[in-house]
Amino acid sequence: MTALCRDCFALAADGAKRCAACGSPRRIAHPELAELGIAHIDCDAFYASVEKRDAPELRDRPVIVGGGRRGVVSAACYMARRYGVRSAMPMFKALKLCPDAAVVRPNMRKYAEVGAAVRERMLSVTPSVEPLSIDEAFLDLRGTERLHKAPPAATLARLARRIEDDLGITVSIGLSYCKFLAKVASDLDKPRGFAVIGRAEAKTFLAGQPVRLIWGVGGKFAERLKADGITHIAQLQALDERTLVGRYGVIGSRLYHFARGEDERTVEPEHEAKSVSAETTFDADIRDFASLRRELWPLCEKVSARMKAAGLEGRGVTLKLKTAGFKLLTRAAQLDHPTQLADTLFRAAEPLLKKEAGGTPYRLIGIGLSHLGPAAGDQPDLFEPTGNKRARVERAMDAVREKLGRNAIATGRGIKS
């Protein structure tokens, strides 16, 4: 049995409840602890944790990050989750469950910055980092023992401490021999957790779990399995691969292998982003062009800020509108030159919006840039010198905001009456 203290990082060959070196009860013991190297790291209640970090008065209160009453919950702290609040829940329902919650509007620029800082610290321990979202990733630490002079488990514990000390947020870690079980493990001991699933117990552990635990088994497919009398993974383990493929097609093979803890997927380094977008849901439906136009500009600024932070530019513009009846409309345009500027994005989206405004009431608007590539700087337009001037003005405003804060300066269209 190998044991690791998550406070002083001492390794020992015992199963004692407390660390002999520092007395901490935060020990993790497992027979395969020193052999496992595939990890999944997930930030704990990420958006809400960042907001609590930045506003000490919120630390002892339930916090919900989300839009107005007609919006949805983007994130909820663990205190709010005890009341039943969950991500993607309508805001009115969340506030009915937890009326004393502090509601904070999302600040995606701030979350992106913290997420990038977490990613930077992950990359400091291994180049094999596969992000799944802004706040979670797979890591492959096999072969790093000589570099860090410690097994992957100890390196991960040190990384969690570094993130906590440097950034003021906590993470939970799942450690296993494959991606599927590493991700499962990271959910077992939240928040500030560290859980391990080894080869020896994998099949037995999985047998008692519901089929929804398997990646790719959503609500509808789970209902189909239930109709066939399959609700738990043990029932999948009792079937051979040919039977499962015959019943469910290609996914049948995944069911067979994952049910036995078999996952051959490797940790793939960061994938290129395909698009960057932002959207907002209105408190009341909007139909007139002027009002929709006012809502469009701050979204263009959000997309621009994310593009600049990521060092990207794009030339595909997509406008998104959702009607009061929840029908989704998308309209697209191509730019002559790739951009990361809010002004250029807004001017491309404005005529798309004008064609759709005035009749149908809308509850949501969104804007995005696609066909992305590394930023090379917006190209000068010999036929529109005023465009170059607008670009210089926007860059100057970025510099002021970098120094004095996001709200230090605004354009006329960014000021709502």
Give the residue-averaged pLDDT of 131-138.
91
CATH class of 275-414: alpha beta
CATH class of 202-259: mainly alpha
Give the residue-averaged pLDDT of 389-409.
56
Lowest-confidence pick of 78-87, 258-267, 350-359, 398-407: 398-407
Q: Residue 310: its pLDDT value, please? A: 72
Residue 17 has pLDDT above 90, yes or no: no
Q: Give me the catalytic one of 136, 313, 356, 394.
A: 136
pTM listed for this prediction: 0.67
CATH homologous superfamily of domain 2-43+113-200?
A: Reverse transcriptase/Diguanylate cyclase domain (3.30.70.270)
pLDDT tens readout for residues 30-42: 999 999 999 999 9
Lowest-confidence pick of 281-285, 303-307, 402-406: 402-406
**Percentage of the chain surpassing pLDDT 70?**
88
Q: Residue 233: its pLDDT value, please? A: 96
Q: Residue 410: its pLDDT value, please? A: 52
- Number of Cβ atoms within 10 Å of the Cβ of 66: 27
Closest CA to 74 of 97, 45, 52, 38: 45
Closest CA to 124 of 89, 179, 163: 163
Give the residue-averaged pLDDT of 338-367.
94
Pick the CATH number of 46-109 from 3.10.20.30, 1.10.150.530, 3.40.1170.60, 2.30.30.240: 3.40.1170.60
Which one has a higher pLDDT value, 147 or 289? 289
Tell me 320's DSSP state. Answer: E
Res. 294 pLDDT band, cuts 50 70 90 = very high
- The three-point CA angle 338-339-344 to 5° equals 120
- Number of Cβ atoms within 10 Å of the Cβ of 354: 12
- Number of Cβ atoms within 10 Å of the Cβ of 75: 25
Query: Residue 358 — left, alpha, or beta (φ > 0 → left; ψ -120 to 50 → alpha)?
Result: left
- The three-point CA angle 345-351-352 to 5° equals 85
Q: Residue 309: its pLDDT value, please? A: 73
pLDDT tens readout for residues 58-98: 999 999 998 765 688 989 999 999 999 998 899 999 999 99
Query: How is the chain split into domains, by residue range?
Result: 2-43+113-200, 46-109, 202-259, 275-414
pLDDT tens readout for residues 222-237: 999 999 999 999 999 9
Q: Residue 281: its pLDDT value, please? A: 87
Q: Residue 379: its pLDDT value, please? A: 47
Average of per-residue pLDDT values in the chain = 88
Q: Catalytic annotation on 136? A: yes
Residue 219 has pLDDT above 90, yes or no: no
Q: Residue 389: its pLDDT value, please? A: 59
Lowest-confidence pick of 109-113, 116-120, 411-415: 411-415
Residue 171 has pLDDT above 50, yes or no: yes
* Preceding omega of 90 cis (within 30 degrees of 0): no
pLDDT tens readout for residues 151-164: 999 999 999 999 99
